[in-house]
Structure 1
Amino acid sequence: MFLSVFDLFKIGIGPSSSHTMGPMTAAARFLDEILTGDWPRPAGAKVDRVGASLHGSLAYTGVGHGTDRAVMLGLYGLTPVTVDPDQTDGIVEQISRDKRVSPEGHPSYRFDPGIDLVLDKKTPLLGHANGMAFYAYDASDRLLLKRIYYSIGGGFVVSEEELQRMKAKTAAPAAGKRVPYPFANAVEMLAMASRSGLSIAEMKRANEEIHMQRAVLDAGLDAVWDAMSRCIDRGLSQDGIMPGGLKVRRRARQLHDKLQEQWSQNRPNPLLANDWLSIYAMAVNEENAAGGRVVTAPTNGAAGTLPAVLRYWLHFHVEADKDSIRDFLLTAAAVGGIIKTNASISGAEVGCQGEVGSASAMAAAGLCAVMGGTPEQVENAAEIALEHHLGMTCDPVGGLVQVPCIERNALGAVKAVTAASLAIKGDGKHFVPLDAAIETMRQTGMDMSEKYKETSLGGLAVNVVEC
């Protein structure tokens, strides 16, 4: 299945792609289903009330990840792209007060969040750990329509039918168009690069341009980086306590000011690059934790790793330019697509190895490419980064993407740069193929206890006392 660069890099809001953006998108899909869906409508029946239930990981960590708010905003008619993060508190308060939602193009529906939004920890939906159900009732509370959706990571949402087709590997390619370089794994990617003489970014670009004009693609890539860069800058300008109750203080601005002082005084710092990487990544993930505007890369929980490495490239390499930014993103998306196709980018499916591990591999590949790496070196860089995240659990304290998520992104960025540096100094030949690392991640995720898959039932989440 063709995955666009814009499937991997979605502009949205925090704090979670799977627990915030996904449920908001699912609610919007349900509203569309009410109006245009093919479902049996009893004569004269009209939808008067809507409701939703959250299951699995969405139920366990939904409040900490803002899932309840996301559903409310989605039923209000907003999407991750259209919602203004600065307006969300007021909208949520209005819905709670009025006990109604009035999405554009719809009549007003009864919706009392205290009754009609249920966090059901006892009834898992078997298709996926991130399951949710939406309901529509008439004025006499007769059930008219029920739909189940799954948020499968990175903001992707599928219905029950779509999920079954995915599992059966029968899903049709996007837009029904055949791409010129349809690599589904790293072996195929390298073989096609060898035969064509093209870089990974050039092959990915050729695939994208089957679906859109070059100018549209470039404008979209520029918009993605602009959103990432603005997120870094905003994160570096903010301070104070992040929401959620853990009372975790933002640190990126303070650390940035100290580093700027060292820079201006020409004080020696052998860890300078690592410090900048860490601060950039933390800035993004602090913004994400606060519900700000972020870009999935490939998820919100891992949103800081790749932008930090790309900002590092622009900061420390004089040859960096706009074309190199586009090549970085295209290369990273090619690797991210292979990982998602053959394993997962969802913490609820495979733990944090699928989120920060995937992000680090994507960032390493992108950096290696713009530094002049061959396709073989790029594949090696991605493998090194991913291999050294294998087995990493997803255990957010208090169900919030703050501890250990923020610092974990910083270290993922450091690993990505190290992996790219190691790979580009070699000839591309290495012992463990990227495909083997991806399959190992998938198997490890299958073996991993549910306690360590974004449920906050194990790991740091139960061994750190919440303040």
Structure 2
Amino acid sequence: MAISLFDMLKIGIGPSSSHTVGPMKAAQMFVTGLQEDNLLAQVSRVRSQLFGSLGATGKGHGTGPAVVLGLEGHVPEQIDPTIVNPRMDEIVSSGRLNLLGAHEVRFNEPDDLIYHRKETLPFHPNGMIFSAFDSEDRIVSEKTYYSVGGGFVVDDKAAGADRIVEDTTKLPYPFKSGAELLRLCQENQMSISDIMLENEKVWRSEEEIRDGILQIWGVMKECVQNGIRNEGILPGGLKVKRRAAALFRDLKNKTRMDMISPSLGAMDWVNLYALAVNEENAAGGRMVTAPTNGAAGIIPAVLHCYTHFCPNSDEEGVVRFLLTAAAIGILFKENASISGAEVGCQGEVGSACAMAAAGLAEATGGSPEQVENAAEIGMEHHLGLTCDPIGGLVQVPCIERNAMAAMKAINAAVMAMRGNGEHFVSLDKVIKTMRDTGLDMLDKYKETSRGGLAVNVIEC
């Protein structure tokens, strides 16, 4: 199966790729299917049922509004984030929604949007069932979907292979492991970004690839700026205060010599970039899943570090960075998981850290072996990381966790670049270990808010 960079790094909205982006896509897929099967005119109402992690923490993740607006035909990469909650309020108060924006049906929230907090569907924790009924309340169509992390969605036909994207495109340089990727680089005297670029050309021209990558980078930069600009309290009830704007003002008023030391001055800025992105995510703003929304601040923060603090950084380096990050993300997607509901936060923040570390090593001239080493270091030191959001919100500890992981990614790249690429634990071994650890992890530590900090910190 083939996965593109543009599958791994998708433009969407917050606060969660698996709980917001994926469900919106699934709902839109369901009603589009009704239209394609000439069933839409028969539909009088649609019931959406959310299971597993979606049922347990969906309210805090904005899953309900995402599903309802998906039924109206909206898609994550195009929707204006500012209309989501007002439109949801309008639908609830009027008791009517427009399937695909064209066919009006009745809507009663308690009956038509159901959160099953303790029930899970087979194959994956993020399950959904959509049922369309006619005027006599008979089922016209019913389908099951799974949001498997990073905004990826599969239906029940793909169950059991839910980490694989349904694309059979033949790639010039296919790889399914880090070892295979390194072998391709050695045999063809190519970098990892070169390999990834050639594979991307089966879908798009080189100009389109570069333009698309720079568009993604543009959204990342805009997200940072929005995070710096916006202030106040994040939604959801925890009363978490946004910090990025105040931190930015503080940093602008200091010279680097005012900070801990000249060499550590960049640390404050990297923290700022990560906090800004994840505060925007928590507020439902526009983001790039990298590879998920919960871990969306890590790659932008490290990329900002590259462009602002690395000598000789340039646009070409940004392209190489993101091509390489995507290649590493594909390895995690195909061989383990990037879903916090499946393997804990090690699958989200850990994968993002590895991707960012590899991207930075590539952009600063690292060999394929050094890049692979950087990714391995980034993941190895996130093994066992649980997903335990307080109140089911992507805020505590998620926002700070991105800042910490961004710094780990930079250090991983630095350590790898100081070596020659030889190391004891391979990337493939650490990916397998992450997968095995996730399987062993209790469900209460996998985005259900029934363990860890989520039960040991009082919501206030």
TM-score normalised per structure 2: 0.97
Residue 293 of structure 1 aligns with an amino acid whose one-letter code is R
Partner of 1:111: 107
Shift of 1:322: 1.0
Report the number of matched residues: 458
Question: What is the alpha-carbon distance in structure 1 between the residues aligned to residue 95 and residue 9 of structure 2?
Answer: 34
Shift of 1:318: 3.1
Residue 17 of structure 1 aligns with an amino acid whose one-letter code is S
Partner of 2:47: 51
User: Quick check: 2:72–2:101 contact (8 Å CA) kept in 1?
Assistant: no
- Secondary structure of 2:357's counterpart equals helix
Partner of 2:28: 28
Partner of 2:411: 418
Could you report, residue by residue, the CA deviation over 1:273-308 in whole angstroms, capped at 9, with x for unpaired residues? Answer: 211111100100000000000100000000000100
Greater Cα shift, 15-24 or 208-217: 208-217
Greater Cα shift, 295-304 or 318-327: 318-327
Partner of 1:333: 326
Could you report, residue by residue, the CA deviation over 1:70-99 in whole angstroms, capped at 9, with x for unpaired residues? Answer: 111111221101210111122111111121
Question: What is the alpha-carbon distance in structure 1 between the residues aligned to residue 279 and residue 228 of structure 2?
Answer: 9
Choose which of 70, 74, 91 in structure 1 pairs with 2:70: 74
Instruction: Verify: 1:145 aligned to 2:141, yes or no.
Output: yes
User: Quick check: 1:72–1:113 contact (8 Å CA) kept in 2?
Assistant: no
Instruction: Verify: 1:162 aligned to 2:124, yes or no.
Output: no
Shift of 1:372: 0.5
Question: What is the alpha-carbon distance in structure 1 between the residues aligned to residue 192 and residue 186 of structure 2?
Answer: 10
Partner of 2:202: 210
Question: What is the alpha-carbon distance in structure 1 between the residues aligned to residue 41 and residue 67 of structure 2?
Answer: 24
Choose which of 116, 122, 125 in structure 2 pairs with 1:120: 116
Could you report, residue by residue, the CA deviation over 1:96-116 in whole angstroms, capped at 9, with x for unpaired residues? Answer: 112121134642122222321
Instruction: Verify: 1:240 aligned to 2:232, yes or no.
Output: yes
For residues 376 and 91 of structure 1, do their structure 2 counterparts lie closer, same or farther at Cα, with a shift above 3 Å needed?
same
For residues 165 and 255 of structure 1, do their structure 2 counterparts lie closer, same or farther at Cα, with a shift above 3 Å needed?
closer
Shift of 1:263: 2.2
- Secondary structure of 1:91's counterpart equals helix
For residues 268 and 404 of structure 1, do their structure 2 counterparts lie closer, same or farther at Cα, with a shift above 3 Å needed?
closer
* 4+ long deviations beyond 4 Å: none
Shift of 1:166: 4.5
Partner of 1:370: 363
Partner of 2:446: 453
- Secondary structure of 2:424's counterpart equals coil
- Cα RMSD of the aligned pairs, angstroms, is 1.5
Question: What is the alpha-carbon distance in structure 1 between the residues aligned to residue 49 and residue 173 of structure 2?
Answer: 41
Instruction: Verify: 1:183 aligned to 2:179, yes or no.
Output: no
TM-score normalised per structure 1: 0.96
For residues 25 and 89 of structure 1, do their structure 2 counterparts lie closer, same or farther at Cα, with a shift above 3 Å needed?
same
Choose which of 369, 372, 377 in structure 2 pairs with 1:379: 372
Shift of 1:37: 3.9
User: Quick check: 2:291–2:329 contact (8 Å CA) kept in 1?
Assistant: yes
User: Quick check: 2:31–2:100 contact (8 Å CA) kept in 1?
Assistant: no
Could you report, residue by residue, the CA deviation over 1:171-228 in whole angstroms, capped at 9, with x for unpaired residues? Answer: 76x2x43111101110000000000000000000000001111111111101100000
Identity of aligned residues (%): 52
User: Quick check: 1:11–1:80 contact (8 Å CA) kept in 2?
Assistant: yes
For residues 100 and 376 of structure 1, do their structure 2 counterparts lie closer, same or farther at Cα, with a shift above 3 Å needed?
same
User: Quick check: 1:26–1:74 contact (8 Å CA) kept in 2?
Assistant: yes
For residues 268 and 399 of structure 1, do their structure 2 counterparts lie closer, same or farther at Cα, with a shift above 3 Å needed?
closer
Residue 256 of structure 1 aligns with an amino acid whose one-letter code is F
Residue 361 of structure 1 aligns with an amino acid whose one-letter code is A
Greater Cα shift, 131-140 or 269-278: 269-278
Question: What is the alpha-carbon distance in structure 2 between the residues aligned to residue 166 and residue 267 of structure 1?
Answer: 50
Partner of 1:267: 258
Question: What is the alpha-carbon distance in structure 2 between the residues aligned to residue 297 and residue 89 of structure 1?
Answer: 24
Shift of 1:439: 0.2
Choose which of 69, 91, 95 in structure 1 pairs with 2:91: 95
Shift of 1:127: 1.8
Shift of 1:238: 1.2
Greater Cα shift, 286-295 or 118-127: 118-127
Choose which of 430, 444, 455 in structure 1 pairs with 2:437: 444
Question: What is the alpha-carbon distance in structure 1 between the residues aligned to residue 386 and residue 96 of structure 2?
Answer: 39
User: Quick check: 2:2–2:169 contact (8 Å CA) kept in 1?
Assistant: no
Shift of 1:269: 3.0
Question: What is the alpha-carbon distance in structure 1 between the residues aligned to residue 162 and residue 444 of structure 2?
Answer: 25
Residue 56 of structure 1 aligns with an amino acid whose one-letter code is G
Instruction: Verify: 1:352 aligned to 2:345, yes or no.
Output: yes
Question: What is the alpha-carbon distance in structure 1 between the residues aligned to residue 133 and residue 100 of structure 2?
Answer: 19
